[in-house]
Amino acid sequence: MIRLTNVSKTYGNGPTAIAALKNIDLHVPRGSIHGVIGLSGAGKSTLIRCVNLLERPTTGSVVVDGQELTTLSAAELNQARHQIGMIFQHFNLLASRTVFANIALPLELMGMDKVEIRDRVMPLLDLTGLEDKADKYPAELSGGQKQRVAIARALASRPKVLLCDEATSALDPQTTGSILELLQDINRKLGLTILLITHEMEVVKTICHRVGLISAGELVEEADVGDFFTAPRTRLGREFLNDFLELEPPKALVERLEEAAGEHTHPVVRLAFTGDAVSTPLVSRLARECGVDVSILQAKVESIQDRTLGLMIAELIGTPDKTREALAYLESHDLHVEVLGHVQRDA
Ligand SMILES: Nc1ncnc2c1ncn2[C@@H]1O[C@H](COP(=O)(O)OP(=O)(O)OP(=O)(O)O)[C@@H](O)[C@H]1O
C-alpha cells in the first residue's frame, strides 16, 4: 500500500546541508500497522511527511496505493491526498470551529453538500466516541478527545492510509491506551493501513505488526514486532528494548564485565525466550543436565500482543567447558542468548 524506494531527503545546500533521510526503502502492506521508531532527530517526522509529500524527497520514489506521487501535478497530488489521512502530536484543530465543523472541513474543501457531509460526519462521531461532543469547541475537550476529533477528521475523506506523527506523545499513558485502541479498531473495521512514527516502545508493542528502526536518517533494522521484542539485531534496537523493559544488569556488575572470557571468568547472559520455552523449567535443567549453576540477576515475563516473552539476565557459574556446553544447550532450545560479558569468579 505504501512503498518508498531509495528515498533521500537533504535540507539545505552546501556545507550546512543536513541529510535527514538516506536511501530509505520501506514497504507497508495493505491493512497492516507499521511503526517507525527512533531517537529525536533521527528523521522520523521527515520520513512520514515524505509519504504524503508534505516534505518532498530530494530523490527516490513514493508510491501509495499503486500511484507514484512524486511525478503528480499539484491538482493530482491534492486528489491523491484524499487517500492519505494524517494526525499529529498537537492535533492541529481549528479553535474557532466546533467538533462537527472540524471533522467536516476536508469535506467542505472537497465541495460536498451539507446533507452528504452530515451523513459522513455522524458515523465518524460514533466511531470515535464523540457522539455527545459535536457542538463543543476544541478548548472544551481533553487531549484524548481532541485526538479523536483529529482522527475523525482524517477519516472523513475515506482514506486508505492513515499517517500518525507521534499521535500519542502529548497524552498521558491511560489516554494513550484508549487512542491506540481506537486506531486498532479502525484498522480492523475499515481495513485501514496505518504508518506511525513514535519514540515510544509501548506504542509499537501495543498495536504495530511490524517495526522499523531509524537512526541518523537510515532504516537500520526492520522486523515483526514479536521478533523485535525478542531479539533486536542492532545495538540501538537492544538499547530501546532494554530501556523499555528496564532490564539491565546491576550497575556494580556492569562495571566488572570484561569482554573476553578468561580462565577464571564466567559468562553473564541475557536470555529471551518465547512460546513453549517460557514454561520450561530451564534453570533446574541447566543445573541437572549441564552441571552449571544459574544465578538469576533479573527476570520478567512480558506479553507482547499474542506472544509471551520471558527475559532473564543471569550468571552461569561453572567451568569454562561446562558453561560453553550450557550456552549451546540454551541455543538448541530456541532461546535467544546474548553474552553480555564475563566476570571474574572470585571478584
Ligand atoms: N525544515 C527543516 N530544515 C532543516 N533541517 C531540518 C528540517 N526539518 C528537520 N530537519 C533536520 O533533519 C533531521 C531529522 O529531523 P526530523 O524532525 O525528521 O527527526 P525526528 O526523528 O522526527 O525528531 P523528533 O522526534 O525530535 O521530532 C534533524 O537533524 C533536523 O534538525
pLDDT score at 279: 60
Q: Are residues 93 and 198 in the same domain?
A: yes
User: Among residues 226, 241, 256, which one ends one of the domains?
Assistant: 241
Query: Are the C-beta atoms of residues 298 and 192 closer than 8 Å to each other?
Result: no
Give burial (CB, 10 Å; 0-12/13-18/19+) of 71: exposed
Q: Are residues 36 and 84 in the same domain?
A: yes
Residue 225 CA to ligand 1 centre (angstroms): 25
Q: Are residues 304 and 190 in the same domain?
A: no
- The tens digit of pLDDT for each residue in 111-120 reads 999 999 999 9
| Residue of 44, 50, 196, 203 with the most ligand 1 atoms within 8 Å of its CB, for mutation | 44
User: Among residues 183, 218, 241, which one ends one of the domains?
Assistant: 241
Q: Are residues 67 and 183 in the same domain?
A: yes
Nearest CA to ligand 1 atom 18: 43
pLDDT score at 3: 98
Nearest CA to ligand 1 atom 25: 40
pLDDT score at 347: 47
**CATH code, domain carrying 262:** 3.30.70.260
Q: What is the mean pLDDT of residues 59-75?
A: 97
The predicted complex's ipTM stands at: 0.96
Q: Are residues 236 and 274 in the same domain?
A: no
Q: Are residues 175 and 321 in the same domain?
A: no
pLDDT score at 280: 67
Q: Are residues 253 and 308 in the same domain?
A: yes
User: Among residues 189, 216, 241, which one ends one of the domains?
Assistant: 241
Q: Are residues 169 and 310 in the same domain?
A: no
pLDDT score at 254: 83
Nearest CA to ligand 1 atom 2: 11
- The tens digit of pLDDT for each residue in 259-270 reads 888 888 899 998
Q: Are residues 329 and 255 in the same domain?
A: yes
User: Could you give the number of structural domains in the chain?
Assistant: 2
Containing structural domain, residue 267: 247-344
Which residues are bridge partners to 34 per DSSP? 195, 210
pTM: 0.86
Residue 16 CA to ligand 1 centre (angstroms): 14
Q: Confirm or reject: Cβ of 96 under 6 Å from ligand 1.
A: no
Q: Are residues 20 and 108 in the same domain?
A: yes
- The tens digit of pLDDT for each residue in 227-265 reads 898 888 999 998 898 888 877 777 888 888 888 888 888
Residue 189 CA to ligand 1 centre (angstroms): 34
pLDDT score at 302: 84
Nearest CA to ligand 1 atom 28: 41
- The tens digit of pLDDT for each residue in 164-213 reads 999 999 999 999 999 999 999 999 999 999 999 999 999 999 999 999 99
Q: Are residues 224 and 253 in the same domain?
A: no
Q: Confirm or reject: Cβ of 37 under 6 Å from ligand 1.
A: no
Question: What is the rounded CA–CA span in Å between residue 276 and residue 241?
Answer: 22
Query: Are the C-beta atoms of residues 59 and 7 closer than 8 Å to each other?
Result: yes
Report in angstroms the alpha-carbon separations of 336 from 205, 230, 233.
Answer: 19, 7, 11
**CATH code, domain carrying 98:** 3.40.50.300
Q: Are residues 302 and 232 in the same domain?
A: no
